[in-house]
Amino acid sequence: MYFKRMKIEQESPEEFGYGNIKYNLTESSTTDKTMKDVGIVLPEDTLLCYGDHYGNEKLRELLAKEYGVSKDNIIITVGACMAVFTIYSALLNPGDHVIVMHPNYPADIDITHSLGCNTEYYRLKQENGFKFDVDELASMIKPETKLVNITYPHNPTGTVISEADLRKIVKICEEKKIHILVDETYGDLTVGPRTTPRAASLSPYAISIESLSKAIGVPGIRTGWIASGDDELIMKLIAAKEQICICGSVVDEECAYQVLSRREELMAPIKEDIAVKFAIVKEFMASQDVLDWVEPEGGVVCFPWIKPEIDLDVEEYHKVLNEKYGVFIGPGHWFDFDDRHFRVGYAWPSVEELKAGLQGLVDAVKDVRKN
């Protein structure tokens, strides 16, 4: 295995220093919360022992209901990131054919490279509105394919999958007896109630992963999970987890349990806040003529681009954006795209920061454009 740092992490606000960023539009989560905001109370007598290797039992029981599986078909991980690593490393060997969605949260792609897989990209195309084409993905599956990965709601475009398409691709994978990993980290970030079924509830060949990080805005509780109705797979995954970390943090998992017990109550004001901020982004996009986008349908990010007719030095653009305007966004290269594209996270900053950050995006174009 060979690990290379991902740009999205190397250039992340945590690494750059939150204090050095005036308008932070890089984040793909809602505003970070305090323990008080989400009502976490940690009893003093919490025993700091090794925890259940699968993860906190009460937490797994809570989650199991959502997937219609047993609590032993849920494995708690250190964020959705570790869930991806655990699944890939348990299922894939060097040279294995794997199909991953592109663009994507980089770990969903890069871990397959770290493992030396034969990785093929299922590319979402801008000219098709970054829409999912189930037939195109299905046509890429070969007899030797070991795993298919998709991510919905999608990072970085904010597109979503229809229930019909999800059912169709899961059925195709089931018929071909290959696993499909569905990264549902943004699953709660839907407009209106969450109605698309969780993939793992549809078939033992579908593996769902998710975490608390994005929707509730508590990425510091490093807790995510894997759900799978495939008992044999679960045995491989728990073996991998035990080699990685034995078990998760009992403190984090207790916090996660308390937060998830109040998920609906906590999500209600968050969804209202997202709606306000999304309206600001929509209004902004309609008010200017230098950027274009595919309007997102879920999540809290979008992936606009500088219109092709605008002549500018893109490196200069990002420099001016960062240094003159104090605005930070996720440049295209984080997602293996050109830097005329960038990810804008609109739910993390305050309304004032969001408005100022969006204004900076067009002001920086005005400053550096050559035509």
Ligand X SMILES: Cc1ncc(COP(=O)(O)O)c(C=O)c1O
Where on the chain is the footprint of ligand X (CB under 6 A)? 28, 79-81, 105, 151, 155, 183, 185, 211, 213, 219, 224
Q: Are 238 and 58 in contact (CB under 8 A)?
A: no
d(CA 268, CA 122): 34
CA–CA separation, 183 and 108 (whole Å): 8
Q: Which residue is nearest to ligand X (CB)?
A: 79
Coil/strand/helix, residue 124? coil
Which residue's CB is nearer to ligand X, number 81 or number 281? Answer: 81
**Nearest CB to ligand X, comparing residues 79 and 158:** 79
Residue with Cβ nearer ligand X (156 or 325): 156
Nearer CB in complex with ligand X: 97/343 = 343
d(CA 296, CA 341) in angstroms, rounded, equals 15
- What lies within 8 Å, CB to CB, of 277 at 6+ separation is 300, 346, 347, 351, 354
> CB under 8 Å to 235, separation ≥6 — which residues?
none
| Closer Cβ to ligand X, 170 or 216, answer by number | 216
Nearest in space to 269 (alpha carbons), one of 38, 25, 40: 38
Minimum Å distance from CB 288 to ligand X?
27
Q: Which is nearer to ligand X, 21 or 80 (CB)?
A: 80
CB 25 within 8 A of CB 345: yes
Residue 255's nearest CA partner among 78, 95, 82, 84 is 78
Of 217 and 320, nearer to ligand X (C-beta) is 217
C-alpha torsion 124→128→133→138, nearest 10: -60
80/87 with CB nearer ligand X:
80
Which residue bears the tokens 């997602």? 335
CA distance 314 to 331: 10
Report the candidate in 337, 330, 344 with the shortest Cα–Cα distance to residue 292: 344
Smallest gap, in angstroms, from Cβ of residue 350 to ligand X?
21
Nearer to ligand X, 18 or 142 (CB): 18
Measured from the CB of residue 309, what is the shortest distance to ligand X in angstroms? 31
3-state percent helix, strand, coil for the chain, nearest multiple of 5: 45, 15, 40
Q: What is the closest distance, in whole angstroms, from the C-beta atom of residue 16 to ligand X in the complex?
A: 16
Q: Give 229 or 345: the residue with its C-beta nearer to ligand X.
A: 345
Least Å distance, CB 224 to ligand X, is 4
Residue 144, both tokens? 């030797």
CB 249 to ligand X: min, Å: 14
- 197 cis-preceded (ω within 30 degrees of 0): no
CB of 80 to ligand X, least distance (A): 3
State the helix-helix crossing angle for 351-368 and 263-287, rounded to 10 degrees. 30
The CB-of-7 to ligand X minimum distance in angstroms stands at 13
> From the CB of 28, what's the least distance to ligand X, in Å?
5
Vertex 300 angle, CA 295 and 305, to 5°: 45
**Least distance to ligand X, CB of residue 24, Å:** 14
